[in-house]
Every structure is written in C-alpha cells, then in structure tokens.
Structure 1
Amino acid sequence: MTTLQTDDPRTNVVARGLRTFFGARETGILIALIAVIAITTAVNPSFLFSTDGWRDLLLTPSILVLVAVGQAMVIITRSVDLSVGSVVGLTAYLTGRLFIDVPGIPIIAVFLIGALAGGFLGLINGALVAFGKVPALVITLGTLYVYRGINVLWAGGNRINASDLPSDFLNLGTNSFLGIPYLTILALVVVLIAGWYMRNKRGGRELYAIGSDPEAAELYGLKVTQRILVAFVLCGALAGLAGVLFSARYGTTNSQTGTGLELQAVGAAVIGGVAIFGGSGSVYGAAIGAMLLLTINRALPILGIQDFWQQAVVGVLIIGAIVLDRVLALRLSRRLVAEREVEK
C-alpha cells in the first residue's frame, strides 16, 4: 500500500513562495495597477489595445520610475530629497547645452555627464544632511530652490528645442525594441540593479538598518554617514539620468522643466510601500507606485472623472499608504511584544 506524500519539499517551497508573493505590499500595488488598466481598457479598448496606448502605458512612467527608485533609497534611510525635480530640470537643460555647445559629443558621454552632474548635486545634499546634522526635509527644500534658481539664471527665457538635438538621441525617447520602448527597458534595468543592490549587498542592507534605528546603527558600528552620502548620491545620479532621458523623450526643455516631479516621486515611493518613517519598502514597490500614479492620471480622464477628483484620488492613495504603513508597524510591534511575553 502506498502512502501519500503530504510533506513534499517542492510543494512546501511553492506554498511558501505563494504566501510571500501575495503577502508582499508590492503585490497589492501591482494588482491595483492591473485593475486600473483592466477597468479603463473595458471602457476604452484603445487605452491598451492600440499601438500608441501600449506605448504610452510603458513609456510615460519611465522617467518617474528612475526618480522614484532614487527617492526610495533616501526615504528608506529615514530622509527625503525634495530637490530631485530641480535636478531633473537642471540636467535636462545641461543635456541640451552639451549638444549645442559641443558639436559631435558622443551620446554616451552626455549620459555620463548628466548622471555625474546629478550625483554631484546629490552629494551636496547628502553632505549637508550627514555632516550638518540638519533634517533632510529642510536641506533639500532649500536646495530645491537653489538648483531651480541656477537653472533659471542659466536658461533665462531661452529653451532647448528638439531641432537642437541630434536625431539619434531623440530616437532613444521614441523608438522601441520588440514593442518595448528603449526608455522602459533602461528604467527596468535600473530597477533590477537597484533592487539587487538593496537586497544582496551589504551597503543596501545597511540603508534599511539606518532607517529602522539610526542611533542603534551608529552604536553597532555601521558607517552611517557614508551610507547616507551614498543614498543621496545615487538619488541625485538617477535624477540626473532622468533629466537626460527627459530631453530625449520630449525634446523641449526650459527653466521650469521638472517642476513638481519631487512630489510625484515621493508619492510614488510611498504608494509603492516605502515607509515614510524609513526602514522598510523596496525599489520595486516604488517603481510600481510610479506606474500606478501616472496610469491613474491617464485613466481618470478616460473614465470621465473631473480634474479635481483626479488629484483627490492621488491624495487618498498617498494618505492610505501612510496609514496602512502605520497600522502594519503597530501590529508588528504588538506581535513582537506578545512573542517576548510568551518566551518569558
């Protein structure tokens, strides 16, 4: 007589994997994104089932995804970078000036210069926060206006037009590979690399430790100052890269490019499950949050919802995400207390 194997290791692995997947905050955001796409497509099939609809669905969030991933790294350390919109604007204008003032400059060099410029601006933010011991909210609110002021002073009333940029560069913002826009592929690569770093490298894991309890991380011997600097530099570099891609995507930049992007990036990260109090969340969630945020902005007009309610829906999502994070944190705290009591 044969006995049924109820303890098959493969079954247990699959079961644990499914529990982990459906229990993750990112899964809930992904389901919400799919639901928004499905409902809007049911109302207007061209939202998804058309060349432009599919392309815009993937292409539109790509720039915000990059900024949100960098923002998530900073928020995980219990900080915030409100200057990213100004960094995007400044590097977008820098991109145009490079092509105009340095004829024949290689496109790869422009990407590197944009990322380095953004990283340098992020380093300034990080140094002021880490060494000055001043709250990041205050510092980056100040640099938001400083960087924007530099951009206004530099650009004045001028703007960069698509005709000033080489066609090969502009093609990066419009062309696709197997139906997937180049910008989306690049954003996906960045998300995967950032996710791998945060999960598998010591530097990434220490960002979570710092965000969970900065004082304990300091006492434990972690390089808190160095890690905070790295987080801000990476955030600035990704914002700089986003500025270069903004020029490729839209062709036209001026002194107001990137205005308001900082709040969208914070909103995307929070909606994606990155705790505003630091210490938890993932760059994957931030990327999905960015896609959800901009997909909702595209979907609501198609569903006939007025502009006021479009903004209200985004606000409710952000508030709901913060409340949910707080509820989950309190529940976890109570569970840990109960477990300690049982051990005693």
Structure 2
Amino acid sequence: MTTLTIDPTGPRTGGTSTARRLLGGALRSREIAVAVVLILVIAATTLKNPHFLVGDNGWRDLLLTPSIMLLLAVGQTAVIITRSVDLSVGSVVGLTAYLVGRVFIDHPGTPIIVIFAIGLVFGGLLGLINGVLVSWGKVPALVITLGTMYIYRGAFLSWAGSKRINASDMPDSFLSLGTKQIGSIPVLTIIAVVVLAIVGYYLYTARSGREFYAIGSDPDAAQLYGLRVTRRVLSAFILSGAMAGLAGVAYAARYGTVSSNAGLNLELQAVGAAVIGGVAIFGGSGTVWGAAIGAFLLVTINRALPVLGVQDFWQQFVVGVLIIGAIVLDRVLSLRRDRKLTEARDAV
C-alpha cells in the first residue's frame, strides 16, 4: 500500500513563492521605485530642515508646485507612448498664460470656467498644428516641435513685447485658485489629479487609448493591422497641447504675473518627468501615473537639493543623471525582454 505523506512546509512554500513574486513585481515596477526615491528625498530633506514639510506652507508647496509640471507630464506621456515627443509645450504654456491675462483685461468679468475652456481649446489648436505636421507631413516630431517651439515663443515675444500681465489685471476669484485649498489639498493639485485620473483611465481602458501603446511598440505593424495610426498620433498631440493650455491657465493663477519668459524650458522638464517616471522614450510603454510621480520627484529635487546644501551645478547634474539612467534602464529592459522572447520562440 502506498503511503501518502503530506509535507507541512508545502503551503508555506507556496505562500512564500507568491509573496516573492509580488515583491519581485513591486521591485521591478518603475512607478514604485520612483515613489520610493521621492519619499527618501522628502525624508532626507525634512531631517535636514524640519520646516521643509512641517506646517501648512511646507505641505502646500510640496503638493502645489508640481501641479503645473504634472499636467505637462500627462500630455507628454501620451505623445511619447506613440514614439514621438512634443518640445513646444513650454511655449504653449507661456502663450496661453498671456492669453488668459489679455482676456481678463479686454473682457472683465469673464467666468473662470470660460477661461479654462479657452485654455484647453487654444492649447489643443496649437497641438493640432504639431499633429498635422507630424502625422500627415511624415516629418519627425523632434524636428517639427523644435520648430514650433521657436515659432510659438517668437509669437509670444512679439505679442507681449516688454509688457507683462500683473496680478492686478486678473480678478481675485481667479488668483485665489493658486492659493485656495480644499481641506489641506490645493485646488490646482486637485484639478491636476482629476485630469490625471481621466487620461490614465482612458489610456488604460479605452480601445483607442490602448492603440497608443500598439502604435508606439511597432508603428508599421499597427498600420498593417489596420489601426488608425495617423488619427491616434494626431490625437496625442492635441491632448498634449490641451494639457499645456490647461497648465498655462494654472500658471497664470499660481503666479499672478505673466512675462515673456513664462514657461521657458518647461518642455525639457516635462520630457524628463515622463522618462524618469518610466515612460519609455522609445515608445510603447509607460503610464501617466509614473509620469506624475516623476513630475513630483523632479520638482521636489529642485526644491530639496538647495536645502541639503547642494550647489546649482550638482542640482542639474543629479537631474541629468536621473534622466540618462532612466533611458539606459529602459534600453536594458527592452533588450532583456527581446532576448527572452527570442529564447521562447527558439524553444517552441
């Protein structure tokens, strides 16, 4: 007779294996890794200077300052996923912020909801120009958006000249958005998080949103499969422009003053935030959630390093290392994934 022996360590081993898989998946998650780095930066800075986080101003600034960058990173993510890039968003922010001020000067009493609609539509139209030139003109996005970056900035400089929009030109009800809180959360942060949730849900669940990833993974295969590549790339640029327009409205409310250098160099920070947050610069992977965490990390590092006594040069150096490291990591993971697929195919 055969005796059945039950090993009491079996269930524990299975549970341990499951726990290890979950832990391994968490450690491989770029979003979680970047979030851990963000927490460590905040903790180290708070230990150095307790006022960095303690008190209403510390907590409010920690949440409020990255809100504009978060909006830009969300739009930039949609474009990068499709294997493109949008370098014009900083100029769009400046143009939209100045437009907001002019609307309030020329048409006093304009409802705030109309201002937000104007920002979204205006930014979306500028993004549409980029999308048409890239998707229909078949010109690399890097070249097109670099050109429109200078064109939009030139139009901004020509329009604004030496003039500037002051806080006195805009109503207090609008400017209060830059300081108002619901509970302990700034209003602009809540707006940015709501937009993040909507775009993230769309990209994750909608069929057209998933097509963004398919196009970025292999544009030629997506075309052969029958996906509307031109339309999706066009949509990505419109979304990026609309997010930049919304960020321009938030910029005007946050700072109250708009001069000709508004939004300068924000495009590079937006790309950096997305890449640091796990959005592959080669397209096809990444999430807006990771880009949002990357935006928080990037802005927090710029605030934290001076508190830690790090000089300006090393601040830029650290950010550069993070961006290069993220790109190298993406490339290594991509090669590793391709190698595993090749081995699996050969085994079959």
- TM-score bracket for this pair, using the shorter chain length: over 0.9
- C-alpha distance in 2, partners of 1:303/1:97? 40
Q: For 1:219-298, what aligned pairs fall within 5 Å after superposition?
A: 219-298=224-303
**Displacement, 1:49?**
1.2
The match for 2:29 is 24
- C-alpha distance in 2, partners of 1:216/1:13? 36
The match for 2:90 is 85
- C-alpha distance in 1, partners of 2:182/2:64? 12
Q: For 1:113-128, what aligned pairs fall within 5 Å after superposition?
A: 113-128=118-133
Partner SS state of residue 159, structure 1: coil
- Is 1:210–2:215 an aligned residue pair? yes
- C-alpha distance in 1, partners of 2:329/2:89? 26
- C-alpha distance in 1, partners of 2:99/2:84? 27
**Displacement, 1:24?**
1.2
The match for 1:339 is 344
Q: For 1:95-174, what aligned pairs fall within 5 Å after superposition?
A: 95-174=100-179
**Displacement, 1:12?**
9.3
- C-alpha distance in 2, partners of 1:311/1:98? 36
- C-alpha distance in 1, partners of 2:7/2:89? 62
The answer for unaligned runs of 5 or more in structure 2 is 1-5
Map Cα deviations across residues 212-259 of structure 1 (whole Å, 9 max, x no partner): 110000000000000001000000000000000000000000222101
**Displacement, 1:23?**
2.7
Q: For 1:292-311, what aligned pairs fall within 5 Å after superposition?
A: 292-311=297-316
**Displacement, 1:13?**
8.5
More divergent stretch after superposition (47-56 vs 85-94): 47-56
- C-alpha distance in 2, partners of 1:260/1:309? 18
- C-alpha distance in 1, partners of 2:29/2:82? 20
Code of the aligned partner of 2:344: E
Map Cα deviations across residues 149-184 of structure 1 (whole Å, 9 max, x no partner): 111111111000001111010111111111110011
Tell me: CA distance 1:297–1:199, structure 2 relative to 1, closer, same or farther (3 Å). Answer: same
Instruction: Name the count of aligned residue pairs.
Output: 342
Tell me: CA distance 1:3–1:337, structure 2 relative to 1, closer, same or farther (3 Å). Answer: closer
Code of the aligned partner of 1:189: V
The answer for unaligned runs of 5 or more in structure 1 is none
**Displacement, 1:6?**
3.4
Query: Segments of 4+ in structure 1 off by > 3 A?
Result: 2-7, 9-22
Partner SS state of residue 54, structure 2: coil
- C-alpha distance in 2, partners of 1:201/1:19? 29
Partner SS state of residue 11, structure 2: coil
Map Cα deviations across residues 117-158 of structure 1 (whole Å, 9 max, x no partner): 000000000000001000000000000011111111111110
Code of the aligned partner of 1:40: T
- C-alpha distance in 2, partners of 1:272/1:165? 35
TM-score (ref. length: structure 2): 0.94
Report the aligned-residue RMSD: 1.9
**Displacement, 1:190?**
1.0
- C-alpha distance in 2, partners of 1:187/1:123? 22
Rg larger in structure: 2
**Displacement, 1:194?**
1.1
